[in-house]
């Protein structure tokens, strides 16, 4: 579907949060195929172990750490262990996230609103801070996973939109704060990506809300969503990973504070 530019990440190490999920896994494959060592962090230890096993084919070093990004303690411990094992971390893909419930603003539950902010905002902050403290000495590159929902607020996704707008804001501020240390900070904002868990979940849950914006039939919701983006198809997980590889690569050496949209358009 898309040509793969070849970057050499030989001798470099990338830490990926949400490394057991669809986008984290695809990005781990992409970087391992370009010779990077891989550090995966996720809540889901069993799925992370499966990804680590898949990565064995590339013959790079791979480590996994069970970690809840909502806990700064967990994040700091995982960073310390990874640094002890690999010496340094060159790239951080700050990607763990949760989509939240789908319902209208007047009905949005407070506990789920808080959960989304804890994972997508505080979690991203903890990882960003740990990465920045480590990279202050030798520079590096960070990519935060935002979303097209952080550019245009979609219906029925109040908490998710709030959290992803926040990720883009943190990206812009961190890019300015960390530039003096030679640390670049960018965001990546996937729109409709699939097949995958989030794509299936969002079409089913948007249909279930029964709002004026989408059909109540998930198959029709899929078509409505696809018809709203310029390329008139889903983006693949590999196309997201390719964007991350570009943002980390030396070709992007003057790019910071940028939000790479893949590909919105409503």
Ligand X SMILES: NC(=O)c1ccc[n+]([C@@H]2O[C@H](COP(=O)([O-])OP(=O)(O)OC[C@H]3O[C@@H](n4cnc5c(N)ncnc54)[C@H](O)[C@@H]3O)[C@@H](O)[C@H]2O)c1
Q: Is 145 in the site for ligand X (CB under 6 A)?
A: yes
Alpha carbons within 13 A on the beta-carbon side of 87: 6
Nearer to ligand X, 68 or 112 (CB): 68
Active site residue 160: yes
Smallest gap from Cβ 173 to ligand X, in A, equals 19
Q: Is 206 in the site for ligand X (CB under 6 A)?
A: no
Which of positions 82-111 make contact with ligand X (CB under 6 A)? 95-99
Binds ligand X (CB under 6 A): choice among 14, 162, 183, 198? 198
**Residues in binding contact with ligand X, number by CB under 6 A:** 29
Q: Is 140 in the site for ligand X (CB under 6 A)?
A: no
Smallest gap from Cβ 71 to ligand X, in A, equals 8
Q: Is 119 in the site for ligand X (CB under 6 A)?
A: yes
Binding window for ligand X (CB under 6 A); candidates: 20-28, 54-62, 177-185, 211-219: 20-28
Q: Is 70 in the site for ligand X (CB under 6 A)?
A: yes
Return the HEC string of the chain: CCCCCCCCCCCCEEEEECCCCHHHHHHHHHHHHCCCEEEEEECCHHHHHHHHHHHHHHCCCEEEEECCCCCHHHHHHHHHHHHHHHCCCCEEEECCCCCCCCECHHHCCHHHHHHHHHHHHHHHHHHHHHHHHHHCCCCEEEEEECCHHHCCCCCCEHHHHHHHHHHHHHHHHHHHHHHHHCEEEEEEEECCECCCHHHHHHHHHHHHHCCCCCCCCHHHHHHHHHCCCCCCCCECHHHHHHHHHHHHCHHHCCCCCCEEEECCCC
Q: Is 20 in the site for ligand X (CB under 6 A)?
A: yes
Binds ligand X (CB under 6 A): choice among 24, 100, 243, 264? 24
Question: 123 to each of 73, 104, 109, 163, 211, how far by Cα in Å?
Answer: 11, 25, 20, 11, 31
Binds ligand X (CB under 6 A): choice among 140, 154, 196, 264? 196
Nearer to ligand X, 9 or 65 (CB): 65
Smallest gap from Cβ 145 to ligand X, in A, equals 4
Active-site residue (options: 91, 160, 213, 254): 160
Nearer to ligand X, 42 or 222 (CB): 42
Nearer to ligand X, 136 or 236 (CB): 236
Contact indicator for 139, 178 with CB cutoff of 8 Å: no
Interacting residues with ligand X (CB under 6 A): 17-18, 20-24, 42-44, 67-70, 95-99, 119, 123, 145, 147, 190, 193, 196-199
Catalytic residues: 160
């Amino acid at each position: 579907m898309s040509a793969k530019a070849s970057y050499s990440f030989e001798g470099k190490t990338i830490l990926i949060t949400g490394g057991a999920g669809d986008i984290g896994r695809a990005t781990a494959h992409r970087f391992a195929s370009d010779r990077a060592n891989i550090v995966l962090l996720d809540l889901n230890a069993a799925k992370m172990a499966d990804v680590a096993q898949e990565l064995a084919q590339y013959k790079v070093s791979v480590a996994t750490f069970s970690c809840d990004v909502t806990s700064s303690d967990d994040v700091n411990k995982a960073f310390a262990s990874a640094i002890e094992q690999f010496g340094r971390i060159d790239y951080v893909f700050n990607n763990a996230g949760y989509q939240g419930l789908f319902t209208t603003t007047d009905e949005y539950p407070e506990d789920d609103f808080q959960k989304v902010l804890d994972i997508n905002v505080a979690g991203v902050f903890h990882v960003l801070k740990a990465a920045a403290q480590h990279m202050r000495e030798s520079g590096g590159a960070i990519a935060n996973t935002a979303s097209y929902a952080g550019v245009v607020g979609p219906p029925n996704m109040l908490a998710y939109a709030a959290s992803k707008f926040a990720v883009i804001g943190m990206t812009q501020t961190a890019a300015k704060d960390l530039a003096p240390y030679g640390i670049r900070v960018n965001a990546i904002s996937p729109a409709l990506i699939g097949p995958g868990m989030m794509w299936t979940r969002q079409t089913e849950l948007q249909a279930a809300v029964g709002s004026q914006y989408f059909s109540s039939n998930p198959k029709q919701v899929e078509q409505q969503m696809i018809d709203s983006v310029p390329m008139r198809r889903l983006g693949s997980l590999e196309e997201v990973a390719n964007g991350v590889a570009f943002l980390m690569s030396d070709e992007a050496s003057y790019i910071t504070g940028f939000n790479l949209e893949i590909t919105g358009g409503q």
